[in-house]
C-alpha cells in the first residue's frame, strides 16, 4: 500500500479550480522533483493540473483513458482502455460480476470511439509525453467514487513510470485509502468528514469544455 497524506480534514471550499491547483503546488513542490510529469484528467482536472505543473515546474500532459464499467453499475470500474487502445481488465471483478467477454469487447470498442475525438484534438496540440521511469502525478479537481482515477492509473501503469502519485484538492477518505493501495502516494488537501460531491467544495465550479483544455495544453 502506498502512502496516503491528508493535509486537512476541513471542509472549507476552494474559490475555483485555479486556486485549488496553486494550493496543491504549494503543498507538494518540496516533495517531488521538477522533472516530474503532471497528467490532468479531462476536463476539469486539466485546470487544476495546469496550475500544479506551473507551480512545481513540471511537464504537463493529459491522461486519456476510459473506464469500462460493470453492466449493473457503470460507475464501478472493471477495467480501462488506454489512449493507444490497450485494454486492462480486473480479472477478479470480472469473475465476481460474471461479465462476458462479448460485453467487454463491445465496451472496449465503444470507449475507443469516444476517445478518438479527444485524442485527435489534444494530440494536435501536445504530443504524447514519454513516461517510462519518470515520476508521474495524476491530477483531478477532486475524487468521489474513484472509478475514473482508477482507470487512469491502470492505463498509465502500462507506460512503466518510475513512480505514480495521485494529487487531489478534495475527496472522501474511503476512496483515497482504496486508491492508495494502487499507487505509490496519494496527496489530498481536504478530506471532509461529510462528502457528497466534488462540486460542493468549490465556490465556483463551472463545466469545463474542450476549448479550455486545449488552452491549458497550449500554455
Nearest to 88 by CA among 68, 62, 58: 68
pLDDT in tens, 85-109: 888 888 888 998 899 999 999 999 9
Assigned fold of 3-64+127-218 = Rossmann fold (3.40.50)
| DSSP H or E run through 179 | helix 173-180
Residues contacting 142, CB < 8 A, separation 6+:
168, 169, 170, 171, 198, 201
| Largest CA-CA distance found in the chain, in angstroms, rounded | 47
Q: Which residue has the cell 476512496?
A: 175
Distances, alpha carbon 104 to alpha carbons 73, 78, 87, in Å: 14, 9, 10
Nearest to 63 by CA among 51, 81, 75, 90: 81
Homologous superfamily of domain range 67-122: PRTase-like (3.30.1310.20)
| DSSP H or E run through 70 | strand 66-70
Q: What pLDDT score does 102 carry?
A: 94
Q: Are strands 37-40 and 59-62 parallel, antiparallel or unpaired?
A: parallel
| pTM of the complete model | 0.89
Q: What pLDDT score does 75 carry?
A: 76
pLDDT in tens, 162-196: 999 999 999 999 999 999 999 999 999 999 999 99
Q: Which residues of the chain have pLDDT under 70?
A: 1, 34
* The three cell numbers locating residue 41: 484528467
Q: Where are the domains of the chain?
A: 3-64+127-218, 67-122
Q: What pLDDT score does 66 carry?
A: 83
Q: What pLDDT score does 146 carry?
A: 87
CA-CA distance, 72 to 54, in Å (whole number)? 41
Amino acid at each position: 500500500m502506498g502512502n496516503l497524506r491528508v493535509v486537512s480534514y476541513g471542509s472549507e471550499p476552494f474559490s475555483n479550480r485555479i486556486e485549488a491547483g496553486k494550493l496543491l503546488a504549494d503543498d507538494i513542490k518540496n516533495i517531488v522533483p521538477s522533472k516530474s510529469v503532471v497528467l490532468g484528467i479531462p476536463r476539469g482536472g486539466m485546470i487544476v493540473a495546469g496550475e500544479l505543473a506551473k507551480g512545481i515546474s513540471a511537464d504537463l500532459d493529459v491522461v486519456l483513458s476510459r473506464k469500462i464499467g460493470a453492466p449493473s453499475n457503470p460507475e464501478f470500474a472493471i477495467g480501462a482502455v488506454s489512449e493507444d487502445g490497450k485494454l486492462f481488465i480486473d480479472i477478479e471483478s470480472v469473475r465476481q460480476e460474471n461479465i462476458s467477454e462479448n460485453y467487454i469487447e463491445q465496451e472496449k470498442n465503444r470507449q475507443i470511439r469516444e476517445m478518438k475525438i479527444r485524442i485527435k484534438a489534444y494530440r494536435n496540440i501536445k504530443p504524447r509525453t514519454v513516461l517510462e521511469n519518470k515520476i508521474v502525478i495524476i491530477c483531478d479537481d477532486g475524487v468521489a467514487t474513484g472509478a475514473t482515477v482508477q482507470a487512469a492509473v491502470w492505463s498509465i501503469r502500462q507506460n512503466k513510470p518510475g513512480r505514480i502519485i495521485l494529487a487531489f484538492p478534495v475527496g472522501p477518505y474511503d476512496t483515497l485509502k482504496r486508491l492508495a493501495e494502487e499507487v505509490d502516494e496519494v496527496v489530498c488537501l481536504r478530506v471532509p468528514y461529510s462528502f457528497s460531491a466534488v462540486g460542493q467544495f468549490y465556490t465556483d465550479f463551472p463545466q469545463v469544455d474542450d476549448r479550455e483544455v486545449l488552452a491549458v495544453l497550449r500554455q
